[in-house]
Structure 1
Amino acid sequence: MPDHDSAGLSASLSPRPSHAPAPSSLQAVYRFTRPILVVVPTLGLVLGLAAHVTGGGQWSGTIWAAATVPVLGVLIIEIIGSLRRGDVGLDIVAALSMTGALAFGEHLAAVVVALMYAGGQYLESFAERRANHEMTALLARAPRTAVLYRDGKLKEVALDVIAPKDRLLVRQGEVVPVDGYVASGVAVLDPSALTGEAVPVRKATGEPVMSGVMNVGDVFDLSATHSAAESTYAGIVRLVEAAQRSKAPMARLADRFAVAFLAATIILAGGAWLWSGDPIRALAVLVIATPCPLILAVPVAIVAGVSRAAKSGVLIKGGRALETLAHVRALVIDKTGTLTHGQARIVHIHPMSLSSKKLLQLAASLDQASKHVIAQALVAAAQAEALDLLPPTAVEEIPGEGLEGIVDGHRVVVGGVRFVSQRVPKIAGAFADGHYPVGAVAVAVAIDGEPAGLLILADALRSESAHVIDSLRRLGISRIVLASGDRRDVAEAVTVGLHLDEVHSNLKPDRKIAIVQAEKQYGPVMMIGDGVNDAPALAAADLGVAMGARGAAASAEAADVVLLVDRLDRIPMAIEAARWSRRIALQSVYAGIGLSGAGMIVAALGYLTPVQGALIQEVIDVAVILNALRALWGGGTYRLGG
């Protein structure tokens, strides 16, 4: 599906990803300095050890201290910012241990702690940076201009200069930039991004057109009734932004243990100092308490889970999204492009005077001359059947109605029932008794003045949809509802046989938000959609999942998870990967806290020096990181089609 979401907007209206805070110069500095902060203590540790081995031991402490200070400085700035927001994190323990080690001359311990902290921070941001890079690529195609009639000439202008009553030229393949009505010509429009209807609609002169739909027919003139900022699509974007602002971010998993662990560390370190009178004993407690297992193992497990999901074509935008995915208990799902393919396909052929294959071959051969989306669907169906398409001649097309021409010596007419009946009057009524699926489109074919048959097209249910719904039930999602912009009869007909709790239809974007909010009473809500009309609901849900392979970029931008392949059955796989990764991360947290707690007690009793504590902490780090890497393998039972 094309990028429906780009028209009618200036750059300032583009929504931010739901997982990302507002950009700031300080965050930009952090993104730039994080790799440097890993290099500095690494280089300092190596140079200090080299100096010690080669007889320059008097310089080792200075080198290690110098390599620690930059990391400590950035850490203190981040802690101050967190405290101003009311957040208390495990970073405080790392800052205390580095500060104490520098104050008491334990420089080796200081630089080791600095290296582990900087490495953990870098790993933690890796998954989100990777996701942001993918989102930039998805949005790079967004147009920002329209073609305006001015002083008898055509001029390409920025969207924000368009005013009501302006006359615009909308070319084939372009998105309608503002709300208006057809001023001249016939508009054949793909409304799927806004309404969920997969079949194109025809708009005659004087009929209204919403912004955000795509012109799939010939060029037409549009008379604007609203500015870009006041049009339908801009209103949808504002809904997205409002929903994103209202969704509270989740805390880092490791930080949930912060207050209790920090309090226990300070009490134990302070008690050891008061009991023994030796501040070094307190420092040893702080060093071994430095939560490197938590700071490192959790992001390692998250990156492993994100990478594992990415191999299946699922882009998870960081740790918060992955953890929410592991907790979902309710699902709101769109129809068009999600449960269905999002485009018309042949579902039945009714031949009258020749075989089904011959009927499709002749109709598709003529339709090669048309750019209409239905014509292209017939061509694609014929190519999928490996039929030889013949070159048409003497082709005459009525945009949005049908076409007539010569194929292999036969006069072929293809189009709507009314169009074919008008072109071949003597067969009027021959196609009148057809019974088609709800929401389907009938393409009539006449050959040499005789009725040849009907080709029935509809937006069919994906073959894997029923299996995916049942699999989600087995994974503990107890509430599944459909939220579609399509007509009630179409939505109900398509979902027959699916184990859904409710079916909602004829929905505008604001109503989808209301349904998402109502479902939150059953637990964390996942919303799956693909169009611009789904973007506000994706942003409002606890977890938004976008069909990014063919869906609108607005939905991919608003979502927390993007399916980079057009397969709905990747979602159960992603849920299992998220749950496995979270389980591994929690194992690492508990193991890290337990081992660090035991080491703290030993240090408080005076059996460990700060350097020994740092080295033991490194052993703990390696153990929990190796455990975290298990998130790359195992833990899944879901199989495609199984």
Structure 2
Amino acid sequence: MHRYLLLLCVLAGLLAGAALALQGEALAARIVWSVVALPVAAHVALGVARALLGGRLGVDIIALAAILVAVALDEAAAAALIALMVAGGEALEAWAEGRATRALHDLMARAPRTAARLGPDGLEEIPADAIRPGDMLLVRPGETVAADGELRDAVATLDESVLTGEPLPVQMALGAALRSGAMNAGGAFRMCAATGAEASTYAAILRLTRAAAQSRPPLARLADQWALGFVLLTALLAGGAWLLTGDAVRALAVLVVATPCPLILAAPIALVAGIGRAARRGVVVKGGGALERLARIRTVLFDKTGTLTPGRPQLAATEAIPALGRQEALRLAASLAQGSTHPVSAALVAVARARGLKLAAPTEVEERPGGGLLGLVEGQHLSLGSQGFMEALGVARTEQLGALASVSVAAGSVAWLAAGGATIAAFVMADGLRPEAPRAVRRLRALGIGRLVMVSGDRAVAAASIGAALRLDAVLAECTPAEKIAVVQREQALAPTAMVGDGVNDAPALAAADVGIAMGAQGTAAAAEAGDVVLVVDRLDRVAEAVAIARRSRRIAFGAIALGMGLSGLAMLAAAAGELPPLAGALLQEAIDVGAILFALTALRPGADERNPGAVPADAGLSERLAEHAGLKRLLERLREAGEAVDGSPAALPAIQALEKEMLSALLPHQREEERLLYPEAARQLGGQDPMAALVRMHTGIEALVGRISALLVIAGREGGWAQAAPELRRSLFALEALLALHLSAEEEALAEFSLQA
């Protein structure tokens, strides 16, 4: 505020002096102008002294010299204009910093200060720092969630824009994990606090934000070094003009236009604007130094689990003895798995419920840590667990499932289901890719990142499949934390290197890298503390976005310096040649300062490398179409089962006919709705020439295969027609399964940006 007051005082004095000069009171005018200029000179002198005590030469010494020389040469009007330039520059700096740091201040302003706690005596208002784990809190409409915790009501609607940068509210269901900092955009709900306010997600973000706001960017230090050289150049030009011409006014004119405001203001403003821009996108950058280093990155190392993958096992495939069938095998296994909280058990139960299977209540459940489960389901003794667990129980492997032993090596792990002393089913579990991971890798490539490497502590075979899917340059598996540090140091010797990770074992490597990028939304506190950049939204594609923001901010900072100092240099030459008097020079320098700072503020806007498609409107049917994918994935399994069942007898004909009806009533209408509403809107948002063409072409292929199966079923239904149609029917079923699986994967990736926004 004092900067604005100083500007108002100088402006008032300048106008008062001008009024006196117009009335013919020249002496009084010069006195007024000198009076308003000298306090500004004292203010600048104080800043120069502080800089000298801090071990650096204050670049404002040029402005100080210009004011004092102008007063000494009786150029009071020029002195007042220089004072206006200095005061205006400081006021403009305050305004620009306010614009650049608005996102950071918004984060701090949203910090919850109180909470409503439900206790034995009813509802009580408590300070946020009094929240303890286990407290039951009531979050009312418009209030901010004060601590991390678990939703205890059926539904809650939250605005997480301050955490994620996404504008649309999200729906949470009973038991969902809630993060502090989100705002209640719906009705009141209850939650159970998992942490105190100081240990919450939002408190950690605020600590990182304060550190970012207080950090002095290295580019600003570099600007100070350049400014020192600029001071010497100014002294040479001003002194040379005076000595060669004997005209002290020329020296004054050089000093007036030489004030390096673009150098000392524009660079830090551009970097702080970049930090604010990143904060809006859910990326907390710990200061301008981290932002500048991020802009120079040429190699990115990734951890695997929790970074490139969600870190949760997912059911990849199911095999069962023919007498049982895959669906029944999954139902039995999931029924038993209800008795365990192990991630594999949770994954089996989630898939079974998603498929609408009716689970039975298990009894006499016994869980053996590190092994598996034993229990009774519908009167049948079952065991579910790893291969080692089955061997310890003396369970024999059924010959039909023997091939799964080799699959477990490549896919990740296999959970075996046994009954009657023999295995009856196997469930291949794998930690799949994050849906946004392929796009994140492609965007990093497009930004010129030349080397992408996975550095994982996981098994080599499991890591290799992820690396191959993402087309990474190298995959280094089974690495200890010390080995990860060695990899970082080896890569750093070749190019500036960033490390992306989320776990405690990644923290040393994050700290060792030129830039450590922590997946802070779901990662550990150790990783967030060690990282220079923290992603507070659980999306890997924000890594590429952060790099794009950093590069653009650094480019704009140097552009602002070049623009401002280039124009100032030309003005200095004109002043030294006597073509620019002090008064006009002061006005010109003010315009140069404004232009350089406004150019630096363009870092607040997204650049071409950062632009993302907007969210598709709700009436495009995105959520409905993606929800239908679960049913289509079940259709994939039934297509494979039907293909496997095709043999010399027509026993499989009724099942294939039922599949045909489902494809005609569900699959093809699904595709038509996508092409009618969803694809046109997605294409409009994505831009380019027909970005959905490949998906539409797949639709055409799927329709052709469905039509071929329908035609073959007509032939197969005739007398003696089964033998004629069966070979081609088998091939068509397998071809449709393969094409549909590919299409669903490609479509989910193409629409991932929209689905994550929604």
TM-score grouping bracket, smaller chain normalisation: 0.5 to 0.7
What per-residue deviation string (whole Å, max 9, x for no partner) do you get for residues 520-571 of structure 1?
A: 3332222222222222222222222222222222222222222233322233
> Is contact 2:273-2:553 (8 Å) kept?
yes
* Partner SS for 2:550: helix
Counterpart-to-counterpart distance in 2, 1:276 and 1:572: 57
| Equivalent in the alignment of 1:545 | 517
* Partner SS for 1:507: coil
Matches within 5 A, 1:305-344: 305-344=274-313
Q: Does 1:481 align with 2:453?
A: yes
> Is contact 2:372-2:389 (8 Å) kept?
yes
The letter for the 2-side match of 1:373 is P
Larger mean CA deviation between 573-582 and 527-536 belongs to 573-582
| Equivalent in the alignment of 2:6 | 41
- Shift of the alpha carbon at 1:470? 4.4
Counterpart-to-counterpart distance in 1, 2:475 and 2:253: 61
What per-residue deviation string (whole Å, max 9, x for no partner) do you get for residues 483-539 of structure 1?
A: 222333433343235444433333233332222222233322222222222222222
Counterpart-to-counterpart distance in 1, 2:220 and 2:250: 32
Q: Which of 323, 340, 345 in structure 2 is aligned with 1:370?
A: 340
Q: Does 1:594 align with 2:566?
A: yes
- Shift of the alpha carbon at 1:324? 2.4
| Equivalent in the alignment of 1:272 | 241
Counterpart-to-counterpart distance in 2, 1:529 and 1:259: 40
**Structure having greater relative contact order (Cα 8 Å, sep ≥ 6):** 1
Matches within 5 A, 1:464-613: 464-606=436-578, 608=580, 610=582, 612-613=584-585
| Equivalent in the alignment of 1:443 | 415
The letter for the 1-side match of 2:609 is G
Counterparts in 2 of 1:596 and 1:380: CA distance versus 1, 3 Å = farther
* Partner SS for 1:436: helix
- Shift of the alpha carbon at 1:592? 0.7
| TM-score, reference length from structure 1 | 0.64
Counterpart-to-counterpart distance in 2, 1:60 and 1:462: 66
Q: How many pairs are equivalent?
A: 493
> Is contact 1:76-1:95 (8 Å) kept?
no
Counterparts in 2 of 1:507 and 1:123: CA distance versus 1, 3 Å = farther
Which protein has the larger Cα radius of gyration, Structure 1 or Structure 2? 2
The letter for the 2-side match of 1:557 is E
> Is contact 1:333-1:529 (8 Å) kept?
yes
The letter for the 2-side match of 1:267 is L
Counterparts in 2 of 1:272 and 1:371: CA distance versus 1, 3 Å = same
* Partner SS for 2:434: coil
Unaligned stretches of 5+ residues in structure 2: 21-27, 112-216, 614-748, 751-758
| Equivalent in the alignment of 1:188 | none
> Is contact 1:284-1:613 (8 Å) kept?
yes
> Is contact 1:390-1:407 (8 Å) kept?
no
Q: Which of 249, 269, 289 in structure 1 is aligned with 2:258?
A: 289
> Is contact 2:103-2:276 (8 Å) kept?
no
Counterpart-to-counterpart distance in 2, 1:488 and 1:514: 18
What per-residue deviation string (whole Å, max 9, x for no partner) do you get for residues 83-132 of structure 1?
A: 3xxxx675554565566668776245235314524754896799799779
> Is contact 2:14-2:81 (8 Å) kept?
no
| Equivalent in the alignment of 2:710 | none
Q: Which of 299, 303, 316 in structure 1 is aligned with 2:272?
A: 303
Counterpart-to-counterpart distance in 1, 2:523 and 2:469: 25
Counterpart-to-counterpart distance in 2, 1:518 and 1:319: 26
The letter for the 1-side match of 2:53 is I
> Is contact 1:301-1:581 (8 Å) kept?
yes
Counterparts in 2 of 1:340 and 1:53: CA distance versus 1, 3 Å = same
* Partner SS for 1:522: coil
User: Percent same amino acid among aligned pairs?
Assistant: 42
Q: Does 1:73 align with 2:42?
A: no
Counterpart-to-counterpart distance in 2, 1:525 and 1:91: 37
Larger mean CA deviation between 73-82 and 261-270 belongs to 73-82
> Is contact 2:100-2:601 (8 Å) kept?
no
Q: Which of 250, 255, 258 in structure 1 is aligned with 2:227?
A: 258
> Is contact 1:350-1:453 (8 Å) kept?
yes
> Is contact 2:14-2:36 (8 Å) kept?
no
Matches within 5 A, 1:166-181: none
| Equivalent in the alignment of 2:586 | 614
Counterpart-to-counterpart distance in 2, 1:391 and 1:495: 39
Counterpart-to-counterpart distance in 2, 1:637 and 1:133: 22
Counterpart-to-counterpart distance in 2, 1:290 and 1:456: 69
Counterpart-to-counterpart distance in 2, 1:627 and 1:123: 11
* Partner SS for 2:408: coil
- Shift of the alpha carbon at 1:449? 8.6
Matches within 5 A, 1:3-22: none
What per-residue deviation string (whole Å, max 9, x for no partner) do you get for residues 13-34 of structure 1?
A: xxxxxxxxxxxxxxxxxxxxxx
Greater share of helix? 2
Counterparts in 2 of 1:330 and 1:616: CA distance versus 1, 3 Å = same
* Partner SS for 1:335: coil
Q: Which of 89, 105, 110 in structure 2 is aligned with 1:116?
A: 89
Task: Quote the RMSD (CA, aligned, Å).
Answer: 4.3
Counterpart-to-counterpart distance in 1, 2:324 and 2:18: 91
Counterpart-to-counterpart distance in 2, 1:490 and 1:476: 28
Counterparts in 2 of 1:42 and 1:114: CA distance versus 1, 3 Å = closer
> Is contact 2:227-2:260 (8 Å) kept?
no
Counterparts in 2 of 1:611 and 1:320: CA distance versus 1, 3 Å = farther
| Equivalent in the alignment of 2:144 | none
Counterpart-to-counterpart distance in 2, 1:76 and 1:413: 79
